[in-house]
Every structure is written in C-alpha cells, then in structure tokens.
Amino acid sequence: MWTIRAFEQGLEELFQRGLLHGTMHLSIGQEAVATGVCGALAEGDLITSTHRGHGHCLAHGADPERMMAELLAKESGYCKGRGGSMHIADVSRGNLGANGIVAGSMTIAAGAALAQQQQGSDAVVVCFFGDGAANEGAFHEALNLAGIWDLPVIYVCENNQYGMSMATARAAAGNDIAGRGAAYGLPGTKVNGNDILAVREATLEAAARARAGEGASLIEAVTYRYRGHSKSDRNLYRTREEITEWRDERDPIDAFTRYCTEHEVLSEQEITAASQRGKDTIKEAVAGAMTGAEPDPTELAGAAYAANPGMEGAA
C-alpha cells in the first residue's frame, strides 16, 4: 500500500512539473483493495485491470520503473511508451492488462477463466472493475457466462462511490452491487474495502471456491477515492468535508498501521521503515525511468499494425 501511494503521489508531482502529459486516474485512498486481493492470489493466477489500475499492476508484481517509463512515454515502458497509464500489461506476471473502456475487461476475464478451465489449470482469474461498470451490459454478459459455466473467476468491484461525477447511490438501482450476484447464481460479498485484511479474507474464500471447481464469485469492496475522476476533474460534486472525513478517519494505510501496532505485528520503527522503502522504491523508479530512450517515430506504425512480409518493400 505504501508503494502504491508513493507511486501515485510521484505521478502527481511529475504532472505538476509538466513532465507527464495527458491524463491519469488515481486510486489514492483505495490501496487496500488491490493489495488485499493480489496478496491472496497464488503464483500463476491472472488479473485484468481498469483505467484506474496502477495499484492492481503494482500489487501483482509489476516493475515500478517500467510502469513509470510507460507513463513518461519512454521506449523502456511496458508498452514502449505507446499505451500510457490505461494500457499497462505484464503477461509474464499474469497481468492481462488494464483497459480504458469501462467494463471492457469483464468479458476478457471470463474468456481467460474459460481457457484456464479447459486447460485443466488451477489458476484463478481476478477481474477488477468499478461501480460504474456494474451498470454496463458487459457486467451481465460476463457474470452470466461465469455462472452457467462455473468459471474460476473472481469479480472484484471497487466501489469508490463515484462513477466519474455521479454518486453510485444515484446510478445503481438497489444500491447493492454484491447482491446482484444472486441473479447469476454467484455468491456476492460486500466488504470494507479500506480494510486490507477483510479484502484478503474474502478473496481467499473466493479463490478456494474457484480452485475447487465451484465457480465464480462477486466481491464488492466499498472504498473511496480522494482525488477526482481524472486530472481534469475539479471535484465539484462532493464536499471537502466528505473527502476529509474519509481521509482522516478511514484511510486504509492508517487503519492497517493502527492494527499492526495494536496487535504488535509491526513496531513503529518497522512501519516507518516500510513506508520509507515504498518512497525510496518510487524515487529510484522515477530516476531510472527518466533516463530511458524516447520512442523512435519511424517505428510508430509497428505499434499499431502486425508485420506483413508480403508487403515488405512496397511503396
């Protein structure tokens, strides 16, 4: 969680200094979801991510320097600087990719889970999606297939309570995304998404169910994003008091820190050291990424089209 937060705070600083262009979607305040879910997965398990996916990638083992290089449009980035924030993939580590389309990864995850099932693998696929995606048609299609085929997939809804500027309570009928699992024969669980241990426990249970051949699960992790939807969002649809309350009283890192000290899991010194390691990791990632080569403009078409040997040399 410390590394994810430091990564995104680093992005904000680069953006403010004019070194990072375009836009990005930050998940500051939501770190317990990505960390709790990915911490419950096993080697070989797969994930799909969203437009707000920096935390998912890092929690599933992505290299911070390659991620930073991707956002800085460097050749050393995961997509050679062509994909940017919303398209980071690392198939070698089981990250099938982020997706800039809301609900775009839901059917991809169902397909990946079907592939694992047909291959006889015990791997589980996790599909992260936001509360806004729960109102898209792909949500129904994916959960229906997962239900009728008992696919080894866990659908994890990060309910940060706002779809762009629309409050979830005004957009989602019934205001109970976890409860929608019943329509597809899936167990639906709502957890405190700012409690990393609760998220981890729900994921472990869902993963065990999937590995036992009992099918898919739906988890709704209720959390909160402190920043706007994207860098162009001025946050005018909610009050500063609301944001302050979540940040000061329900922050996931503060909550985990309190748990660790109260239960003597970590000392104050160990907590400080862990936090500093996260900051140092990102500081080194920024420095390394900044030295990366710029993409070669003559290779731009190669990032969009497959090579056609029969057309080589054609005018």
pLDDT (tens place) for every residue of the chain, 315 residues total: 999 999 999 999 999 999 998 889 999 999 999 999 999 999 999 999 999 999 999 999 999 999 999 999 999 999 999 889 999 999 999 999 999 999 999 999 999 999 999 999 999 999 999 999 999 999 999 999 999 999 999 999 999 999 988 999 999 999 899 999 999 999 999 999 999 999 999 999 999 999 999 999 999 999 999 999 998 888 889 999 999 999 999 999 999 999 999 999 999 999 999 999 999 999 999 999 999 999 888 887 777 777 776 665 544
Residue with tokens 């990072």: 20
Percent of the chain with pLDDT over 70: 98
**Residue 189 main-chain phi, psi, to 5 deg:** -125, 130
> Do residues 52 and 228 touch, judged by C-beta distance below 8 A?
no
Residue 162: what residue type? Y
Strands of the chain (E only): list them: 46-48, 125-130, 153-159, 162-163, 166-167, 188-192, 217-222
Q: Which of 1, 6, 21 is nearest to 232 (CA)?
A: 21
What is each CA distance from 243 to 148, 220, 258, in whole angstroms? Answer: 40, 21, 20
With a CB cutoff of 8 Å and minimum separation 6, the contacts of 156 are 33, 37, 126, 127, 128, 129, 203, 219, 221
pLDDT single digits (tens) 190-229: 999 999 999 999 999 999 999 999 999 999 999 999 999 9
In this predicted structure, what is the pLDDT of residue 310?
A: 64
In this predicted structure, what is the pLDDT of residue 176?
A: 95
Q: Residue 52: beta bridge partners?
A: none
Helices (H), 239-308: 240-249, 252-262, 268-290
Integer Cα distance of 282 and 11 in angstroms: 10
Three-state DSSP at 190 gives strand
In this predicted structure, what is the pLDDT of residue 315?
A: 45
Question: Whole-model pTM above 0.85?
Answer: yes
Helices (H), 105-189: 106-118, 137-148, 168-171
**CA 209 to chain CA centroid, nearest Å:** 22
